[in-house]
């Protein structure tokens, strides 16, 4: 298709019709400044060729010129398939579509309405959108060959729509992958997608093969379960046989053990009899031994008594000899002790007299000391009383006049300062009047602050100022009252009044009239307080730390009383006491100490002598007591000896004879016991244990093991009965048969699925291969153009089988380094997209000259590349009609072709 003329109106910036006639079959350059409507022309072209005329909605409404109710109308003349057509299309309020064909003399109406739309759409190999404007990908040939403005130009091309793919296939002269092939593969794919998941290629859960597989699995699980049960039954059967034979063995074991136990019991009974005899013998032996031991003990007692009597007699003789010298020493010590005690008594009397003398002298000395102390204390109390009186006077004076604190003084100063400052500010903002006299006159001026009378003379002009009001009273002439209406001044005056009120409150508090009076009062108060503090410090010093006047007075009274008592005790008056001579206390004290020392030494000696005398007396008494005890014991032993020998007729020899008889009897019994011990086997205890062990084993067998085996047998028997009643084998048979059926189904379904999987894989692979072969020439041509533009032979364009742009390969063909679009500059990207479009145009133009639209295509291209592109465009215009829209006409001055100035197209 090539474009011959284009007229648009009622379309965005084209309120009035714009017409472009006599398009060249080669290159056409539509130029104009920005916003002049170049791209709108292309939009109009797309609307005419690619959208329904009766379209409604916001998308088409947006094409009305702004602020008008005009409707888009587009007329285009074009050639297609060697025939010339005219398409008249109106939208919205001018809805119409008419396609006419040139018959050599004039246009003959061919189709109208939808038929006309569809016919043109088919010429463009395009698809209509379901609603609204058609998408770029639905534009058919225009999608491949028109390069729009902005980011859309970088969108990858696609053969996604079936119409264009088919046309493309025809244009390439290819019969490799036909529509029928598509249908065939589509049918295979449909079946495939019914069986397999698109992501993993696994069977779909609801596919026939999955369901059959699940059925097999379920049947198998059921069979396995039954088979396991059957195996368990087989095991139970084997177990039962084992348990039967075990039970027989256990019962035989039990019988055998019982027999063994019987034999063992016989032996044990015999041993028990012998053991009884042995025990009797042991008792007899014990009795004989006891009798022998009693006699033997008696003999030993007699012998010991004899020895005891001899030893006591010897000891008494020794002690009587030792007591004589001890008695002599004791008498001598007693005499010396009595002498020392008489001396001690005399010394005690002397000490008592000296001590009384010393006490009297000491009391006199203490009374004199107190007399001095009372005089000092009385003086101190008097001084304190004087200071206290002065303090009271001063405090009384201070309390009569209130003194301000520093805070009040500062607050008053601040208020005064604020009043002054704000009054000055008020005056500055308030009224200012200059008065000049032509002749002398008097004038009384009243302001809010003061009232004053001035005499005004012609040569002495007067300047007056006031905050808010001023009254000029010129006697004999009249009265002028001036008021300020300023809000600021009123605000200031209000603040001044508040501050003055605050200042007055402080002054009133202390009964003063002015701030200076307040300060004077403050200074006086400060001075009085200083004096008061000094008096207080002096009083504290006079009283001493921690004392009060009352305390001191109390202490003075106590001391005076104590002194009075001491004087009474001594029998003197205070005056006599003051006159009395001070006694020599130290001489009396030394004398008393000497006497005390003598007495202590004497007491020590008396004590030692007393101890010696008592010790000697104690030794004598002890020896006398021991001798007495020994004599008593000796008499007891002799009585005991006599008593013990009495049963033996007081004959010691007879006692010896009885002892020999008893020993013989004991020996006989021992011999008999030894004989019995030999008869009793040594392992008797072992036999007993063996018997007990047998009892336990038999008990365990009869009461535990055999019942356990019987129980176990019953359980196994129960299992077998249960399996029988359940018909376990029949169940297994049914499961096996069900599995067989399920497996059969699964095999059939699997076979079908496998076939579809194979066909799907092969179909897709072959389609990809064939399409790859189809797009290869495009890829080569685009690469050639791109290399020419960029002057970079090392780069090649990579396209996917559906013409989607994969990227740019840098380097050899087998290189894996494919750069995506985003990795290159905007300029390179637009050159790349132009290369692909020119390559497509090259092949599509071989069928019929095609319209290529490039909307401001080379704005980011440098001048060298631009020149090379212009040359390529010139070459391409041999088979293509190229429409370039640009605002840079200078860039295209070296290229031949028809030029349209958009500003001159308006009718």
Partner 1 sequence: MVSFLHTADWQIGMKASRVADVAERVRKARLDTAKQLIRIASQLQVDFVLIAGDLFENNLVHNEAAHRVAEALSACSPIPVYVLPGNHDPLTADSIYSRSAFTDFLPPNVHILRTSEPVTPVPGVVLLPAPVMSKESYNDPTGQFQIPEDIQEDTIVVGIAHGSLRIPGKFQENDFPIALDAAQRLGLDYLALGHWHSFYVHNDMRTVYAGTHEPTGFDGQCSASAAHVTIKARGSSPDIERLDTGTLTWQTLEVSVAGDPDQVVSRVKHEVDKAQDPSSTLLRLVLKGHAESDDLRWLEELEDWLRTSLLYMEIDKSRFITRPVGRRLRQLAAGNLFLQSIISDLADIACLLGQPIEDLPEDLVSAGGSGSSLIDDSLQDSLDRWRIEAEDVEEALRTLASIAEEVLS
The structure tokens 């395009």 sit at: 126
CB-count burial class (<10 Å; 0-12, 13-18, 19+) for 268: middle
Residue with Cβ nearer partner 1 (187 or 300) = 187
Residue with Cβ nearer partner 1 (524 or 729) = 729
d(CA 581, CA 609): 48
Residue with Cβ nearer partner 1 (237 or 874) = 237
What is the distance of C-alpha 502 from the center of its chain? 59
The structure tokens 């063909």 sit at: 813
d(CA 802, CA 169): 11
d(CA 482, CA 433): 10
Residue with Cβ nearer partner 1 (334 or 712) = 712
Residue with Cβ nearer partner 1 (544 or 718) = 718
| Phi, psi values for residue 201, rounded to 5° | 75, 10
* Nearest distance in Å: CB 818, partner 1: 21
* Nearest distance in Å: CB 188, partner 1: 6
Pull the structure tokens for residue 839.
Answer: 């390559």
Q: For residue 253, what are the contacts with CB-CB under 8 A and spacing of at least 6?
A: 701
Residue with Cβ nearer partner 1 (174 or 826) = 174
Residue with Cβ nearer partner 1 (114 or 757) = 757
d(CA 375, CA 894): 140
* Nearest distance in Å: CB 770, partner 1: 7
Residue with Cβ nearer partner 1 (596 or 747) = 747
* Nearest distance in Å: CB 40, partner 1: 45
Which residue in 149, 184, 200, 182 sits closest to 38, CA to CA?
A: 149
How far is the CA of 690 from the CAs of 246, 273, 502, 678, 703, in angstroms? 25, 19, 124, 21, 19
The beta strand positions in 790-887, using DSSP E, are 795-799, 805-810, 818-819, 850-855, 880-886
Residue with Cβ nearer partner 1 (172 or 882) = 172
The beta strand positions in 457-610, using DSSP E, are 462-466, 469-474, 478-483
Cβ atoms within 10 Å, residue 536: 15
Residue with Cβ nearer partner 1 (229 or 329) = 229
* Nearest distance in Å: CB 51, partner 1: 34
d(CA 568, CA 576): 12
Where do runs of H (alpha helix) occur along 401-514? 406-429, 487-509
Residue with Cβ nearer partner 1 (214 or 290) = 214
* Nearest distance in Å: CB 718, partner 1: 11
* Nearest distance in Å: CB 161, partner 1: 21
* Nearest distance in Å: CB 738, partner 1: 7
* Nearest distance in Å: CB 856, partner 1: 42
Residue with Cβ nearer partner 1 (424 or 741) = 741
| Phi, psi values for residue 15, rounded to 5° | -70, -45
Buried b (16+ CB within 10 A) or exposed e, 153-164: bbeebbbebebb
- 843 close to 171: Cβ distance less than 8 angstroms: yes
Residue with Cβ nearer partner 1 (237 or 251) = 237
Pull the structure tokens for residue 131.
Answer: 């609603």
* Nearest distance in Å: CB 734, partner 1: 8
* Nearest distance in Å: CB 206, partner 1: 20
- 133 close to 59: Cβ distance less than 8 angstroms: yes
Residue with Cβ nearer partner 1 (745 or 898) = 745
The structure tokens 């009869």 sit at: 702
* Nearest distance in Å: CB 807, partner 1: 24
d(CA 795, CA 818): 10
d(CA 616, CA 610): 10
Q: For residue 709, what are the contacts with CB-CB under 8 A and spacing of at least 6?
A: 243, 246, 247, 250
Q: For residue 263, what are the contacts with CB-CB under 8 A and spacing of at least 6?
A: none
Cβ atoms within 10 Å, residue 100: 19
* Nearest distance in Å: CB 825, partner 1: 38
Cβ atoms within 10 Å, residue 891: 20
Q: How many CA atoms lie within 13 A of 476 on its CB side?
A: 3
* Nearest distance in Å: CB 238, partner 1: 9
What is the distance of C-alpha 73 from the center of its chain? 69
Residue with Cβ nearer partner 1 (663 or 736) = 736
d(CA 72, CA 60): 9
Taking every pair of C-alpha atoms in the chain, what is the biggest distance, in angstroms? 194
Pull the structure tokens for residue 528.
Answer: 């009085």
| Interface residue list for partner 1 (CB under 8 A) | 175-178, 180-181, 183-185, 187-188, 191, 230, 233, 236-237, 240-241, 716-717, 720-721, 723-731, 733-734, 736-741, 744, 751-752, 754-759, 761-763, 765-767, 769-770, 773
* Nearest distance in Å: CB 256, partner 1: 27
């Amino acid at each position: 298709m090539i474009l011959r003329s284009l007229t648009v109106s009622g379309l965005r910036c084209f309120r009035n019709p714009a017409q472009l006639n006599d398009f060249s079959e080669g290159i056409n350059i539509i130029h104009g400044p920005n916003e002049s409507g170049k791209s709108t022309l292309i939009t109009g072209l797309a609307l005419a060729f690619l959208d329904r005329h009766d379209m409604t909605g916001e998308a088409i409404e947006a094409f009305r010129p702004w602020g008008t109710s005009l409707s888009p109308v587009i007329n285009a003349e074009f050639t297609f398939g060697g025939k010339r057509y005219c398409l008249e299309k109106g939208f919205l309020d001018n809805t119409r579509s008419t396609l006419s064909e040139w018959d050599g003399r004039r246009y003959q109406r061919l189709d109208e309405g939808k038929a006309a739309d569809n016919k043109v759409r088919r010429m463009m190999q395009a698809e209509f959108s379901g609603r609204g404007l058609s998408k770029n990908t639905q534009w058919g040939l225009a999608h491949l060959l028109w390069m729009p403005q902005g980011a859309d130009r970088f969108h990858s091309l696609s053969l996604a729509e079936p119409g264009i793919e088919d046309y493309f296939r025809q244009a390439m002269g290819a019969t490799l992958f036909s529509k029928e092939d598509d249908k065939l593969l589509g049918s295979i794919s449909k079946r495939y997608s019914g069986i397999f998941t698109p992501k993993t290629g696994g069977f779909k859960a609801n596919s026939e093969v999955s369901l059959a597989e699940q059925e097999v699995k379920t049947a198998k699980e059921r069979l396995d379960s039954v088979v396991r049960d059957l195996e368990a039954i087989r095991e139970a059967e084997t177990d039962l046989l084992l348990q039967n034979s075990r039970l027989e063995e256990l019962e035989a074991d039990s019988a055998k053990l019982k027999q063994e136990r019987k034999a063992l019991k016989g032996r044990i009974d015999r041993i028990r009899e012998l053991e009884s005899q042995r025990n009797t013998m042991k008792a007899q032996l014990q009795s004989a031994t006891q009798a022998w031991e009693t006699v033997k003990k008696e003999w030993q007692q007699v012998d010991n008594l004899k020895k005891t009597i001899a030893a006591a007699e010897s000891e008494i003789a020794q002690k009587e000899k030792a007591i004589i010298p001890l008695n002599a020493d004791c008498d001598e010590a007693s005499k010396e002790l009595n002498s020392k005690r008489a001396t001690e008594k005399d010394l005690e009397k002397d000490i008592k007299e000296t001590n009384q003398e010393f006490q009297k002298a000491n009391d006199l000395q203490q009374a004199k000391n107190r007399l001095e102390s009372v005089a000092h204390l009385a003086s101190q109390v008097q001084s304190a009383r004087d200071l206290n009186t002065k303090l009271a006077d001063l405090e009384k004076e201070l309390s009569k006049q209130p003194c301000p604190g520093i805070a009040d003084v500062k607050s008053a100063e601040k208020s005064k300062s604020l009043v002054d400052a704000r009054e000055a500010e008020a005056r500055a903002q308030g009224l200012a009047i200059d008065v000049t006299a032509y002749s002398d006159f008097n004038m009384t001026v009243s302001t809010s602050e003061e009232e004053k009378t001035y005499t005004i003379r012609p040569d002495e002009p007067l300047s007056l100022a006031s905050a808010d009001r001023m009254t000029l009273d010129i006697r004999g002439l009249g009265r002028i009252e001036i008021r300020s209406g300023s809000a600021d001044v009123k605000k200031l005056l209000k603040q001044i009044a508040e501050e003055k009120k605050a200042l007055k409150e402080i002054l009133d508090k202390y009964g003063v009239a002015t701030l200076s009076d307040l300060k004077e009062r403050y200074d006086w108060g400060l001075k009085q307080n200083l004096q008061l503090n000094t008096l207080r410090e002096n009083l504290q010093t006079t009283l001493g730390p921690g004392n009060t006047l009352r305390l001191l007075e109390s202490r003075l009274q106590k001391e005076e009383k104590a002194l009075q008592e001491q004087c009474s005790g001594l029998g003197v008056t205070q005056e006599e006491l003051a006159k009395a001579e001070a006694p020599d206390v130290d001489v009396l004290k030394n004398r008393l100490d000497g006497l005390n020392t003598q007495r202590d030494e004497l007491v020590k000696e008396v004590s030692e002598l007393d101890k010696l005398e008592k010790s000697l007396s104690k030794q004598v008494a002890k020896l006398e007591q021991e001798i007495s005890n020994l004599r008593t014991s000796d008499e007891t032993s002799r009585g005991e000896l006599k008593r013990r020998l009495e049963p033996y007729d007081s004959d010691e020899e007879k006692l010896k004879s009885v002892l020999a008889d008893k020993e013989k009897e004991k020996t006989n019994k021992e011999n008999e016991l030894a004989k019995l011990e030999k008869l009793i086997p040594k392992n008797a205890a072992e036999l007993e244990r063996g018997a007990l062990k047998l009892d336990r084993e038999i008990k365990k067998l009869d009461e535990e093991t055999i019942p356990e085996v019987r129980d176990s047998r019953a359980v196994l028997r129960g299992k077998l009965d249960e399996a029988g009643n359940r018909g376990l084998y029949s169940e297994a048979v049914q499961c096996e048969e069900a599995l067989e059926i399920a497996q059969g189904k699964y095999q059939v379904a699997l076979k079908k699925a496998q076939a579809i999987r194979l066909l799907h894989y092969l179909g897709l692979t072959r389609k990809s291969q064939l399409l790859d072969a189809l797009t290869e020439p495009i890829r080569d041509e685009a690469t050639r153009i791109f290399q020419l533009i960029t002057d970079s032979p090392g780069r090649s364009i990579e396209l996917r089988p559906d013409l989607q742009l994969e990227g740019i390969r840098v380097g050899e063909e087998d290189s894996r380094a494919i750069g995506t679009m985003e990795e290159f500059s905007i300029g390179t990207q637009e050159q790349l997209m132009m290369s692909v479009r020119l390559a497509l145009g090259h092949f599509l133009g071989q069928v019929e000259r095609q319209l290529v639209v490039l909307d401001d295509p080379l704005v980011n291209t440098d001048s060298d590349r631009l020149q090379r592109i212009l040359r390529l465009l010139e070459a391409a215009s041999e088979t293509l009609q190229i429409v370039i829209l640009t605002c840079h006409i200078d860039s295209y001055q070296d290229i031949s072709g028809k030029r349209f100035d958009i500003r001159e197209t308006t009718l």
